[in-house]
Amino acid sequence: MNKIKRFLLVVAGLVGAVAPALADPITMLDGTSVSAGKVGLTSDKVEYRSSGGVGKATVKYVDSSANSRTYTMPDAGATADFVMTAGNQTIAGTKTFSTPPTITGGITAANIQTGSAKRQLLRAHLSPNTGAAADATVYRAMLFPGRAGIVTRVTLGCITAPSVGTDTIKVLKASSSGNTMLNAATFDANTLTANTGTTATLTGTGADLAVTAAQGIYCEYSAGTQTVDAIGVEATVEFEPTDF
């Protein structure tokens, strides 16, 4: 039989052969196993070397104390890079955090986007700042944030503090008869220090600190008969909108 005939017989035998059935999974000598849709490695790391290069990249797995973990790479919709803990990278797309992230090192003023800052400071002038408050007089102000939100801080202060008398300050939800936003019905204005801000303690009832877009924040300073009358009593209310 000449060479051509022998070659044709070998080809015919290969075409007619039935592919052997392979076990699932297939375990290779180096500990790598391949099964339907999966590749398993017994090693704790995988090394990648560039073609013709001298460097290498090592992907290492840290033992999770016998617990199995699933790491899912979602469809990015386009070519995307991994985000690493070291180096400078630009992160595109919308990222939503289920809980507020902890930022170490702070944020510089240049990187604060003031156009979308949520916190607002609302100020109520509760007595004249060019003369003493009149005895037995109530000074009132209504603050309207114009958005639904929550009062997160109330700071009280004055230019001249009142003394020896009954002077009180109120901060109420929605109206002059609303629930107090402070931890007590009234704040003793005689405890103020001139030219110094005092942070009032807020109520522990969260619902009393929340207002709708149509509601306001009522502030009141009631001057009694004083030995020293107050000058320039003011309330600064820190407000955080929740409707955007």
16 inside domain:
no
- Above 50 in pLDDT, residue 116? no
69 inside domain:
no
Q: Which domain holds residue 210?
A: 120-241
74 inside domain:
no
166 inside domain:
yes
Do the Cβ atoms of 163 and 229 come closer than 8 Å?
no
Q: What is the CATH number of the domain that holds 180?
A: 2.60.120
Residue 48, CA distances (Å) to 28, 40, 57 in order: 19, 16, 5
101 inside domain:
no
Burial category of 168 from C-beta neighbours within 10 Å (exposed 0-12, middle 13-18, buried 19 and up): middle
**Per residue in 197-237, pLDDT tens?**
999 999 999 999 999 999 999 999 999 988 899 999 999 99
CA distance 114 to 173: 28
CA distance 207 to 202: 12
98: DSSP letter: S
What is the number of domains present in the chain? 1
Residue 187 tokens read as: 């704040």
72 inside domain:
no
Residue listed under structure tokens 């939100």: 149
Percent of the chain with pLDDT over 70: 77
CA distance 1 to 156: 110
4 inside domain:
no
* 187 C-beta neighbours (distance < 10 Å), count: 23
51 inside domain:
no
Average pLDDT over residues 45-66: 76
Question: Which has the closest alpha carbon to 176: 219, 136, 139?
Answer: 219
